[in-house]
Structure formats: C-alpha cells, structure tokens
Amino acid sequence: MAPKAIPLISPHPPRLSMMGDALREVEESGQFSNAGPQVSAFEAEALEQLFQDEGECHAVANATLGLMLAAREAAGRDWRGERYAMMPAFTFAATAHAAQWAGLTPLFIDSDPADWSACEQAEEAALARYGDRIALVMPYATFGTCIDLDRYRDMADRHGVGVVIDAAASLGALDERGRGFGAGYPFATVFSMHATKSFATAEGGLVYSGDARRIAAIREMGNFGFGAPRLATRSGLNAKLPEILGVMARAKLAQIDAVGKHRSQLLAAYHTALRGFEFQQLSGERPLAQFLSLLLPRDLSERREDIIALLAENGIGAGSYFSPHLGKHPHFAATAQCEAVPVADDIAQRVLSLPLHEGMNTADVPRIASALLDALARTAAPSRVMAQAGMVPDGAGTGTVIVGGGPGGMAVLVAAARAGRIEELVSSGLTIVERGETLGTGLLGEYAITSDSTAETFLTAIAQSPYPEIAAMADMPGTRIIERYKGALGVPLALTPPFLRELGERLGAIAERAGATILRRTEVRSARQLRGGGWSVTLRDPNDMVRDVTAEQILIATGGHQSMASARAERVAGDTLAHLAGERLILSESVIRTGGVVALRDSLASVPAPRIAVVGGSTSALSTVALLLKAQPALPLGAGAIRLIHRRPLRPFYPSAQAARADGFDDFDDADICPVSGFVYRLAGFRLEARELILRMLAIGGREPDPRVAMIDTTQSEIAAREAIESADIVIAALGYRPNGLALHDIEGERIALAADAVGRPRLVNQACEVIDAGGDAVRGVYGIGLAAGFVPEGRLGGEPSFQGKANGLWLWQNDVGAMIVDRLLEDRTRAAA
C-alpha cells in the first residue's frame, strides 16, 4: 500500500457542516454583510484574545484589500507614483500591487540573510538615498515570523514615513513578549485569513492598530469612504467581510492556540531531522510558520525543479515561495524600482518550501526528510560535482569546448537534439563551460521587454523531440507560461527563464549521460593555438584556480554587449554623439533591463515634459520606444516627446507579398522578398511588438500613429536629427550589439586580431559561422553563434538579397544555424581522424 500523500498546503478551515446553529443565526438576522453581529463579535474577540484589548481591529474581505486601505491611509494622499513604498523584494505580489493601487511606486530592497525579512542596512541606505521620496515602508513578516516592530516605530519617528506591516501569515503568532504580533504598535498590521494560511477560513483579512483612530479611518475607507451616512468624504472601496466568513473566523480563533502549538512541534521535528540545512530563522515566542522553509545547497539549487519532482514521486508536496522575487516579475520590472538585492537573489534561487500543516503529525517529518535527502543524492550527478569541486584535470583533452551555456550555446544542443544527434556530437568529447550556475537562460530574464521570437519559436525546441525527457517538458509549468503567449506579440523575457533553464538542464543531462562534461561557475579566459592543431583553452574555476584543457574545436557563444565608447563615436548629422549629447547620452541596455524605466523616470523627475531622443534603427531601438510608451506609471510624454532617429528605412515583416499588399504596404520589390520562404523583409523587417509600432508610425492599413513618437530619417533631414538630439533631455543610443568574443592567441602566444575587434558593430563570424580574423580569413577550428555574431543566411537558408546587417533570432540558432554548426563540428572531426 502506497504511503499517504502529504501535500505542501492542506487547508484546514473550520467545518461549515458543524456550524448549523451559527449559520441559521445569520439567516435569521437577515444581515449578511455590512458589519453584522458575527463580524463585529469576531473583531471584539480577536482584539481581546490576540491584542490584549489594546487598540482596534477591522475585518476585511481579504488581506490585499487590507493592505490597499492601510497603505493609502498611511501615505496620506494619492501620490500618483511620485513617491515610493519601500518593501523587500522577497515578498508576495499583493504587497506591491497594494502599494500601486494606493498611488505609490514599489521600491524593492534586499533581505536579511537570517530571517529573510527586510534588511535593516538596506532600509537605512534607501532612506538616505531617496529621502522624502519614500512615503511608506511596508515590511513583511516573512512566512509567519515576528519581526522587530520597535525598529519600525523608531524609523517612523526619525524619518516621518508611514509604516504598514504585511503580516499575512502571522495572525495568531506571539512575539517575544508573549503578546499577539503587532499588539500596541501605532501603525497598521495586516493579516490574512485565506484558506492556505495558519489562521485559515475561506478568505478574509484583519487590519490591527494600537491607534483606534487609524482603524476608524480604514473602516470608513473600506465602506466606500462614507464618513457620513451615504456620503463619501474620503477615498474608498468596498472591503467588508461577509457574515458567513465572520462565523468561520470566530471558530478559527477558538482553534488558533492548538494550531500554533501543533505547528511549533512540526517545526522542531524538522530542525532535528534536517540538522545542517540553512533554515529561515523565525522569531517570537510562537511564530506561525506557514511551511518549513530552507535553502538548498548552492551547487544543487539549479536542480530545484528536479528535486521537487522527485519529492512528488514520493507523495511529498514541495514548492519555492517566493521565486522569482518581485524584482523579476515582468509587471514590476517595468513599473517598480529594484535596488541591488544579492541576498534576495540567493534566497529566491535556493529556497525550498516543505509541508507544515494540520494534516500532518510529527511522524511524517522523518519521511519527508528522508525523501528530500534521497532527491538531493539522486540529483547530484557525479560529473557535475567533480566539475564544481575543481576536479577537471589540468591538460585534459576534449573534442569541442562550448564557451557559454546560455540561449546561444544551448541552441546547438537543441539543433542536435531535434535530429537525435546529441550522442554523436558528444562522441569525440564535449565540454560546456558556463559562468553561471544554470544552463539555458543567460541574461534574458533580466530584461523588461518582450521577445522578438514568438512563443511558438520557443516551443519548437521541445516539439516532437526524440528524447523523452525533452518531449515531457510539454507538461512543465515553465512551458505552460510560454504557451500562454501563443499568438501574442512575443513573450515577456522575464518569464522565459523557467522554460529555458529546464530545457538547458535537460539537454545538459542528456549530454552528460553520453559523456560530456559541464563546468559551471567557470570562465574561459583565453585560447592558444597548438602546433599539432587544436587549441589550449585556459579556464578559471569556482575556486579561482587556473588550468588548461585541450580541444579540437571551440564554439564561442558568449553573447554581445553595447559599448559606450562606440556610441559616443557614432556620427549623426555630421558630428559625434559625444559632442551632440554629452553627458545626456545613455545606452538602451540600461533602459530595457529590469528597473531601467524607473531609473530613467527618476533622472527626469524634475523635468515636467521630458524630450527623449532614441538613436538607432535596431530592434533594441524599437523595443526601447515601445517600453517607454507603455511604462506604468506613465511617463509625462507630450506630442513628439520621443524622437526616433535612424538612417535606414524601417520596414515591417510580412509573410508574403500578397499579405503586404492586402495591408496597404507596397514599399518593396523582388530584392526584398526571400526566394526560399516568400517572406517580405524576412531579415530586415521588424516583427511582433516592434513591427506593430512601425506599422502604426507608418500609418499602414489605416492605423493611427502614436502622437508621442516622431521618426526622423537622418538621410532626409540632418538638421532635424541634430536638433532632436541637442534639445533632448536624455539621448538613448540603441545602436545594436558588439560580440563579446574571446581572446585567441596564435602558436607563438601573440593575440590574433579578429574582425570582431573593429570599431562599430563588427561581425564575429563568416557565412559558415567560422570566427574570422581582421583580414576576413577563418580562424581554423573556432566557431561562433548568438547575439552579435553576425551570421547572415543565404542560399538554401534563404533571406532577401537586399539585406545588409546582422541576423539574430532564436529560430535560426535552434534550427538552420545550429544544425549547420553541428554538421561543421562533426565534419571537422571526420577530416581530422582521416
């Protein structure tokens, strides 16, 4: 007989079926809401039992509404995004949403490494940096702990800021004094009574304050702002708790001491069974842990989804709250400000949540601990452990070294997997070197823009895969996220890491099984040609040890970067951007990354009607403009506030000439049509969100241009371009990317001058994806792929004859280009063997 399943969360609200008398009372009273006798009795009983009858409390329909009301009351007015609400990045989305609904911009700060709540040093640093722009502080009592509220009372006094405590999981917790958490403190503390919490009903929340006047104000706001009968005297909404939920809340209040005792016993059992793990440190005489929270070892954190899946196979539910933290959420990446949060990054990457609820007993804990240890042991592949321990022997040989395990490097494995050729590719030796902890994602998750590849393109990597573990990804959560964007204008890049990471790790596992070596947290410093052919590749491992491995071939997949020096040297309207823009010049990279728009907004805070010049005709230029147009809170952009300055015509992609003409677009000829696919502007044309913006600006098909944007072609009017740059408050250089490349040395140790070293936006590779030197000749045995590599499809791969520039795209990398590189690598080995 299989052991019982232990879910991560098992709601245990009071049983309505046992409350017949109380429910009949509600029916007979005829009052089902509007502060009826059940809700009023609950508020009075909670005040006495939990808060020693000091202050006042108000029951609301849910805790998010409670946070919204408390934030608006504490902020004093609707700041329309002009002031910040400071909160930890490691918290639930409701906190940040509530701040935004209250008219504030969330400001995310780092966490304390011990209890995972807001870091005191980070709070003080932010208060010093932002001053009175911080109107509200919203700490989170993480997962039911009792944080230091004296600190926030002192902070409010010293800085004059409002304070609202998000204590969603802490209703019924006792602080170090043995008093209910929050008791006596003047600011609002907001609790949840959701079914998944320790204080479980069906839904609901409770707002407490030691200041009864504050609760009176919040009570009015939660009743449509009625400060007089049927008369709105302040901001308001409907937040009232229904009477039936009041019945459930009163019943749960009677159980909460037993619930707290039981959870404390489970918590103690976990600490004994999993001695040696890093746990969240809970404070208080009786914290109410929502679940058991610990950190996985860093060398296994990237396998967290595998570990959770292995636990599920043993009937154990597990999760990862809150991963990613709020700074990584697409909405907040575009609308909030995130400080540097290395501790929150680490916690979110490593956190594992295990069951802790009333459906368990202490005898269940050893079973869960055993299952976890078994999952960790099964996940730690020996080759990976050896690599992270720095045990790759100096001088070891391999067939191919792939430098970079991000989307570019993994695209070659995707292409091999689609043809069932991973084992063939690995047969003569394969080593993948990745600077980070995980494969597949690169830096894509750090961007606040949408992809220039469709959701369908992402999903082709797993469709009809001959490898069962890749095909099985169709049912993974990360895949379902991507699927939601089928038919949409791209996928928010911040949402792609779960899918790309899972894909990369599964491809890596298949390669390892075939004999490949994967080196994580390892950097390739350089490579030197060997006299007998091949390369000596110099690595720096996680322990800062430097060692060499020999390789027949190298594949450079290190991505690209924007160069301020190149941007300053760019000539527009007969002059350099350095001269025209001076200190107002920034790179588009800084805008389109997470938090970039907020930083830009801050830099323009004193400008009532900012003017922004975006220089460039690349996808990054269009993505920058699109991001500025949809910023929340909206930037104060008037007519023509954004000037897009370009030197080549901006063209939309069309699937056929007929489709283009049907849409009213005919600015193309035969040279602009791909002879293989029939696509119009297959390579030069903008796609997805950028395409929609271009179609609007060109007024194609009756579309209305956005009045906030003006396009200036420098070949048509240098004077207008110059004026736009000189009069702009900010000039954003969106001039494409340069390849990161790799330092290559010849047999004598002299640096090989590469085409990629040239000024501007040079190519790294030729049409065979071979890295080329400054003279345009291929460097034998070295290939390149990815952002800024510069490959341009031709011949059987298609592409319009008129195209000039670089071709990038996930579809090309994972299909035609990736397959071509696999063929070249295998052909080179065959020739070398012959």
Q: Which CATH number belongs to the domain containing residue 705 in this structure? A: 3.50.50
- If asked whether residues 758 and 632 sit together in one domain, one would say no
- If asked whether residues 727 and 613 sit together in one domain, one would say yes
Q: Which residues pair with 572 in a beta bridge?
A: 575
- If asked whether residues 547 and 691 sit together in one domain, one would say no
Q: Is residue 380, in this structure, part of any structural domain at all?
A: no
Q: Is residue 348, in this structure, part of any structural domain at all?
A: no
What is the percent of the chain where pLDDT is above 70?
A: 97
Per-residue model confidence (pLDDT) at position 388: 37
- The pTM for the full model equals 0.65
- If asked whether residues 528 and 643 sit together in one domain, one would say no
Region 627-632: mean pLDDT is 90
- If asked whether residues 636 and 521 sit together in one domain, one would say no
Distances from the Cα of 428 to the Cαs of 514, 726, 828, in angstroms?
10, 58, 11
* Reported confidence tier of residue 534, pLDDT bands at 50, 70, 90: very high
Q: Is residue 674, in this structure, part of any structural domain at all?
A: no
Q: Is residue 708, in this structure, part of any structural domain at all?
A: yes
Domain boundary among the residues 721, 736, 751 is at 736
The total number of structural domains in the chain stands at: 3
Determine the Cα–Cα distance for residues 401 and 738; give it in Å rounded to an integer: 22
Which residue blocks in 30-118 are alpha helix, DSSP H?
A: 37-51, 63-75, 93-101
Domain boundary among the residues 736, 751, 774 is at 736
Cis? peptide before 322, omega within 30° of 0:
yes
Q: How many CB atoms lie within 10 A of CB 189?
A: 29
Q: Is residue 68, in this structure, part of any structural domain at all?
A: yes
Domain boundary among the residues 233, 256, 279 is at 256
Domain with residue 430: its CATH number is 3.50.50.60
* CA-angle at 240, arms to 239 and 246, nearest 5°: 135
Per-residue model confidence (pLDDT) at position 49: 95
What is the percent of the chain where pLDDT is above 90?
A: 75
Reported as a single tens digit per residue, the pLDDT across 177-192 is: 999 999 999 999 999 9
- If asked whether residues 701 and 779 sit together in one domain, one would say no
Residues contacting residue 411 through CB under 8 Å, at least 6 positions apart: 557, 785, 786, 810, 813, 814, 817, 818
Q: Which residues pair with 772 in a beta bridge?
A: 778
Per-residue model confidence (pLDDT) at position 440: 93
Domain with residue 179: its CATH number is 3.40.640.10
Q: Is residue 362, in this structure, part of any structural domain at all?
A: no
Which phi and psi (to 5°) does residue 571 adopt? -100, 130
Per-residue model confidence (pLDDT) at position 653: 95
Q: How many CB atoms lie within 10 A of CB 760?
A: 11
Q: Is residue 396, in this structure, part of any structural domain at all?
A: yes
- If asked whether residues 523 and 537 sit together in one domain, one would say yes
Helix (H, G, I), strand (E, B) or coil at 124: helix
Residues contacting residue 328 through CB under 8 Å, at least 6 positions apart: 348, 445, 494, 594
Report the mean per-residue pLDDT for the chain. Answer: 91
Q: Is residue 22, in this structure, part of any structural domain at all?
A: no
- If asked whether residues 744 and 601 sit together in one domain, one would say no
Residue of 606, 600, 89 lying closest to 339 (CA atoms): 89
- If asked whether residues 96 and 228 sit together in one domain, one would say yes
Helix (H, G, I), strand (E, B) or coil at 673: strand
- If asked whether residues 519 and 643 sit together in one domain, one would say no
DSSP secondary structure string for all residues of 195-212: TTSSS-SSS-EEEEES-H
Region 451-462: mean pLDDT is 94
- If asked whether residues 697 and 808 sit together in one domain, one would say no
Reported as a single tens digit per residue, the pLDDT across 17-71 is: 888 898 898 888 888 998 889 999 999 999 999 999 999 999 999 999 999 999 9
- If asked whether residues 629 and 768 sit together in one domain, one would say no
Q: Which domain holds residue 620?
A: 564-650+686-736
**pLDDT for residue 386 is more than 50:** no
